[in-house]
């Protein structure tokens, strides 16, 4: 087995690099302002709206879209679906970067970010749900880092360390699935303490289950979506095995996503029935709820099934992007749009442009980190000096 062929060096100042450089420079400036002038200078947060886009997008969406790591590793190593093996490293990398950026975003949102370690040091044994979420995220980020290290160790030529980590694959996979199950569901359970603030169509005793099941959809869809982008922009970095198996991964995950989306749709209907919230469907919020459930759950379920049955990769990849957008909308609805729905419009939260700038800054850092790692480390190809993982 050989390395992929070396291609000619590409120009540095592409449109993407220029836009990314502008976003990074602006983001660094806002970062300085945030940590010198405080939250009031850079956000529209208030006592009524203490959680904004940094929680609704950077945390809730970020954690959901990073679920591809545990979904793919579980499929390959726990359920024995070895045909998905080539998707594991890209999914683990995406998950690791996603969780790392979630932790970075928390430093912006928390008023005293230097106190983030306090629950583990000062307040041990707390029964807070936030403590459980923080502990699971911190532990799972560590697990993802260890799962990602074989690629870095192969790049550095540290064979013994790499072989030691590879032997821990099964243990790390089990640990990662357990931790993901806990904190993905706990993020939804956080909103159970606010029944009077979250709109009845989105509030449900099943919120924890909703968040967990939808995270599986997010993970499956992100693997397909990320794989399509990697195939287009990093095709020259792929070896023959990755190119050969890419279509099978997309079709297999599309079939699984169709089944999970179908179950998720049934759960959402059961949630409305359990709350006897049918009459709310006639309101403006009800129309938007139907857009979410029908437009971004039921229809992607149908098109995933069509794409998998017809083996149509164009439909599958388009639907994956559609489903990812649906996850974003759902988390925005729960964390922002349907939250504090009873407040007058003058008191409702709308993000400051600097909050949006920081979110774009964090996403850009993630894309640049992914680009660097994929360009230099054996993520999309097997290192010739090592046995397949």
Joined tokens for residue 377? 């480390």
Is the pLDDT confidence value at 120 over 90? Answer: no
Joined tokens for residue 264? 């998720």
Is the pLDDT confidence value at 4 over 60? Answer: no
pLDDT of residue 202: 96
**Could you state, in order of their start, the residue ranges of all structural domains in the chain?**
27-38+50-344+351-376
pLDDT of residue 1: 43
**Residues forming a β-bridge with 198:** 339
Strands (DSSP E) along 156-279, which ranges? Answer: none
55 closest CA partner among 297, 349, 346: 349
CA 267 to mean position of chain CA atoms: 21
d(CA 311, CA 317): 11
CA 242 to mean position of chain CA atoms: 23
Query: How does pLDDT run across 300-317, given as a tens digit for each residue?
Result: 999 999 999 999 999 999
**Residues forming a β-bridge with 339:** 198
Q: Is the pTM of this model over 0.75?
A: yes
DSSP per position, 263-288 = HHHHHHHHHHHHHT-GGGGGSHHHHH
Q: Do residues 66 and 102 lie in contact, with contact meaning Cβ atoms separated by under 8 Å?
A: yes
The listed CATH number (1.20.1630.10, 3.40.50.970, 3.50.50.60, 2.40.160.20) that belongs to domain 27-38+50-344+351-376: 1.20.1630.10
Query: How does pLDDT run across 172-206, given as a tens digit for each residue?
Result: 999 999 999 988 999 999 999 888 899 999 999 99
H or E element, residue 217: helix 207-233
215 closest CA partner among 186, 191, 185: 185
pLDDT of residue 10: 60
Is the pLDDT confidence value at 123 over 80? Answer: no
Q: What pLDDT band is residue 125 in, cutting at 50, 70 and 90?
A: low
Phi then psi dihedrals of residue 357, to 5 deg: -60, -40
pLDDT of residue 315: 97
Query: How does pLDDT run across 38-93, given as a tens digit for each residue?
Result: 999 999 998 888 889 999 999 999 999 999 999 999 999 999 888 898 999 999 99
Phi then psi dihedrals of residue 126, to 5 deg: -65, 150
Q: What is the mean pLDDT of the chain?
A: 90
Query: How does pLDDT run across 328-380, given as a tens digit for each residue?
Result: 999 999 999 999 888 888 888 999 999 999 999 999 999 999 999 999 999 99
Is the pLDDT confidence value at 126 over 70? Answer: no
312 closest CA partner among 229, 320, 230: 320
134-137 contacts, C-beta under 8 A, 24 or more apart: 136/179, 136/180, 136/182, 136/183, 136/186, 137/63, 137/99, 137/102, 137/103, 137/183
Specify the 3-state DSSP secondary structure of 363.
helix
218 closest CA partner among 293, 142, 137, 297: 297
């Amino acid at each position: 087995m050989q390395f992929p062929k070396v291609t000619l060096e590409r120009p540095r100042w592409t449109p993407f690099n220029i836009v990314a450089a502008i976003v990074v420079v602006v983001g660094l400036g806002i970062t300085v302002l945030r940590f010198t002038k405080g939250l009031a200078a850079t956000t529209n947060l208030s006592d009524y709206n203490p959680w904004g886009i940094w929680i609704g997008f950077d945390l809730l969406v970020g954690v959901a879209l990073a679920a591809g790591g545990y979904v793919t590793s579980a499929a390959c190593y726990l359920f024995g679906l070895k045909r998905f093996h080539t998707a594991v490293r890209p999914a683990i990398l995406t998950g690791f970067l996603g969780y790392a950026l979630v932790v970075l975003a928390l430093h912006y949102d928390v008023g005293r970010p230097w106190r983030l370690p306090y629950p583990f040091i000062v307040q041990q044994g707390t029964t807070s749900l936030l403590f459980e979420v923080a502990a699971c995220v911190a532990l799972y980020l560590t697990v993802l880092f260890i799962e990602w290290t074989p690629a870095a160790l192969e790049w550095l030529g540290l064979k013994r360390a790499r072989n030691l980590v590879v032997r821990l694959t099964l243990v790390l996979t089990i640990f990662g699935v357990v931790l993901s199950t806990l904190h993905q569901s706990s993020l939804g359970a956080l909103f159970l303490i606010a029944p009077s603030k979250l709109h009845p169509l989105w509030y449900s005793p099943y919120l924890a289950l909703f968040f967990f099941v939808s995270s599986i959809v997010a993970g499956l869809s992100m693997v397909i979506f990320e794989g399509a982008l990697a195939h287009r922009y990093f095709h020259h970095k792929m070896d023959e095995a990755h190119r050969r198996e890419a279509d099978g991964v997309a079709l297999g995950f599309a079939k699984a996503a169709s089944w999970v989306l179908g179950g998720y749709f049934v759960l959402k209907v059961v949630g409305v029935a359990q709350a006897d919230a049918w009459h709310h469907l006639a309101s403006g919020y009800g129309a938007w709820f139907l857009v979410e459930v029908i437009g971004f759950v039921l229809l992607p379920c149908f098109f995933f099934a069509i794409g998998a049955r017809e083996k149509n990769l164009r439909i599958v990849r388009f639907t994956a992007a559609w489903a990812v957008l649906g996850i974003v909308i759902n988390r925005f609805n729960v964390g922002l749009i349907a939250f504090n729905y009873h407040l007058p419009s003058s008191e409702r939260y709308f993000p400051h442009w600097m909050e949006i700038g920081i979110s774009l800054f964090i996403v850009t850092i993630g894309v640049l980190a992914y680009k660097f790692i994929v360009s230099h480390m054996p993520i999309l190809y097997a290192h010739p000096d090592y046995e397949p993982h």
